[in-house]
Amino acid sequence: MSFIRQVVKTSCRAVIPRRMFMTCGPSPGRLPGGRRGCHEVALTFDDGPDPDITPKLLDLLEKWQISATFFVIGEKVVRHRDIVHRIASAGHGLGNHSYTHSEPHKTSTRQFLDEVRKTRDLLEDIGNQPCKLVRPPKGKLTVGKQVGLWKQGMSIALWNIDPRDYQMQSQQQAVDWGASYHPRGGDIVLLHDNHPWAAHIVRVLANNNDQAGCARYVRLSEWVQR
């Protein structure tokens, strides 16, 4: 990420409420109950649902009792409504990742906002509840798109931890990243369920947490109002 984008993200985080724009969650010091040494971390999965990978990932999350948030692409939702149903009924969060995942710089503000509205209608129909979380493709927004999303009442959710799983070439790379990652309270981890590596990362994080850690994996929606 460029220095300028980092500055913009940091500035937004400082002045805009989390329900409108979030790049991370509350820090441990602000967690209710003051649970010391215990961190709330949000795992997020973008670019699905995938008919092969997403169900296996859901099995894994269920086994370890981990909650997560899935930012799904509308045109894939149409093809795999059953998987989206399963995500929602398992208690995971659903977020909007546009309808076609079109290249941000080739997508007009009107087209982008139309895609978000169309995907939101789909998700609200399936989940039977409001779906206000949105993550723009590649995390890229213009001022016009950002304001347009707020006019739709959307909460923009980016991330602060990016293992770049979409660039990984082997299971070992995923395992190594998982072993080197030490969760901090409020981390939003960007993963992808259209690539196979996220599951290996989740397995390592869950194992580490089981043995020594104290991370509680939460849905992003839990942080929106805090």
Of 82-111, binders to Zn ion (CB under 5 A) are: none
- How far, in Å, CA of 217 to CA of 226, rounded? 16
| C-beta of 95 vs 137, nearer to Zn ion | 137
| C-beta of 24 vs 72, nearer to Zn ion | 72
| C-beta of 157 vs 215, nearer to Zn ion | 157
192, 193, 195, 200: which is the annotated catalytic residue?
A: 192
Cβ-defined contacts of 141-150 (< 8 Å, 24+): 141/104, 142/109, 144/109, 145/109, 145/112, 145/113, 146/21, 148/109, 148/112, 148/113, 149/113, 149/116, 150/20
The residue range among 61-69, 111-119, 132-140, 147-155 that interacts with Zn ion, by the rule CB under 5 A, is: 132-140
Q: From the CB of 184, what's the least distance to Zn ion, in Å?
A: 24
Q: Which of 40, 47, 50, 193 binds Zn ion (CB under 5 A)?
A: 47
162 tagged catalytic: no
39, 46, 80, 187: which is the annotated catalytic residue?
A: 46
Q: From the CB of 194, what's the least distance to Zn ion, in Å?
A: 8
| C-beta of 94 vs 206, nearer to Zn ion | 94
- How far, in Å, CA of 48 to CA of 72, rounded? 5
Q: How far is CA 181 from the centre of its chain?
A: 17
- How far, in Å, CA of 161 to CA of 159, rounded? 6
| C-beta of 75 vs 176, nearer to Zn ion | 75
- How far, in Å, CA of 181 to CA of 102, rounded? 31
Q: Which of 31, 41, 45, 46 binds Zn ion (CB under 5 A)?
A: 46
101 tagged catalytic: no
Q: Is 193 in the site for Zn ion (CB under 5 A)?
A: no
- How far, in Å, CA of 199 to CA of 120, rounded? 26
Residues that bind Zn ion (CB under 5 A): 46-47, 137
Which residues have a catalytic role annotated?
Answer: 46, 192
